[in-house]
Amino acid sequence: MLRLALTPRWLGWFSLVAVACVAFLLLGQWQWDRYETKQARADRVEAHYTAPAVPVEEVLGQDPVPIDEEWRRVEATGTYDVAQTVLARNRPHEDGYGSEVLVPLRLEDGRTLIVDRGWVANSPQGAEVRPEVPEPPTGEVEVTGWVRPGEPDLDRDMPDDLVASINLDQLADRVGGDVLGGYVIMQDEQPLGASGGASAERPTPLEEPDTGIGPHLAYAIQWWLGIPAAIAFVLVALRREARVEAGLPAREPRPKKVRIWDEEDG
């Protein structure tokens, strides 16, 4: 069988199986990485989403927020700079596509927190027309919500009041001030003092984060099981061909069952 295995044809088959095994290994690792990423995100949501709110200063600074702090529930006090409201375009929601409303909250210490107040549908006149946006409360307000890291810059030219992604560096250029290294998805806002006035409505709250991990673990195991299966397949095929060359049946005959009456006849 060794002589047959060293022929060019079988060496080619072995090379093909080796390439397939490497591919199965890498594909399995890719699915495993996706599983770990989604599992870690689900763990963060479970740990932070309903936890008591902490002051935003304990979580956010000028540096980008660490991934472990994602979905931390925080509270912040400041004043909305309504004139600097920016819409993040083309954002999906259960009702379709629209915009997320980003309003800078000027904090008491002079820094700026970007608050995502929620989602609004596109204008009935089309996506090119600015939709109606509910006004936030005036005066000092306390905002409670969840921390998210900024998004990559999609490098698209947009009007001053629109962005293609929630990129904090880009937003800092638009709204001015020392913008914190993460933004907050608003859960609730409460006006403070006699001068604070509540809006009649707020944008549609964003959907809760998805904590599903998908079938990635099962896919990883399936890809990895393909490695021993491929090796076993080529070895069985080699053994069968070697038996045929030796003048033997491709498969070993199954042992014949001895019946009770055969033993009695013996």
pLDDT digits (tens, 9 = 90+) for 33-44: 999 999 998 999
Strands 54-55 and 73-80: parallel
CA distances from 191 to 79, 119, 129 (A): 9, 21, 30
Percent of the chain with pLDDT over 70: 86
Which of 80-94, 123-137, 189-203, 243-257 shows the lowest mean pLDDT across its residues?
A: 243-257
Q: Is 95 or 190 the better-scoring residue by pLDDT? A: 190
For 144-159, give one letter per residue: b (16+ CB within 10 A) or e: bbbbbebeeeeeeebe
Count CB neighbours of 166 within 10 A.
Answer: 22
pLDDT of residue 200: 47
Quick check: 266 pLDDT over 60? no
* Beta bridge mates, 184: 115, 147
DSSP code, position 127: T
Evaluate whether 51 touches 73 at the Cβ level (below 8 Å): yes
Count CB neighbours of 65 within 10 A.
Answer: 20
Token pair, residue 246, equals 């030796």
Evaluate whether 100 touches 118 at the Cβ level (below 8 Å): yes
Evaluate whether 143 touches 76 at the Cβ level (below 8 Å): yes
**Residue range 13-34: mean pLDDT, rounded:** 95
**Residue range 25-54: mean pLDDT, rounded:** 93
Evaluate whether 78 touches 63 at the Cβ level (below 8 Å): no
Quick check: 199 pLDDT over 60? no
DSSP code, position 134: P
Quick check: 134 pLDDT over 70? yes
Q: Report pTM.
A: 0.77
pLDDT of residue 128: 72
Which residues lie below 8 Å from residue 75, measured CB to CB, with a gap of 6+?
A: 53, 54, 55, 56, 142, 143, 144
Quick check: 159 pLDDT over 50? yes
pLDDT of residue 211: 85
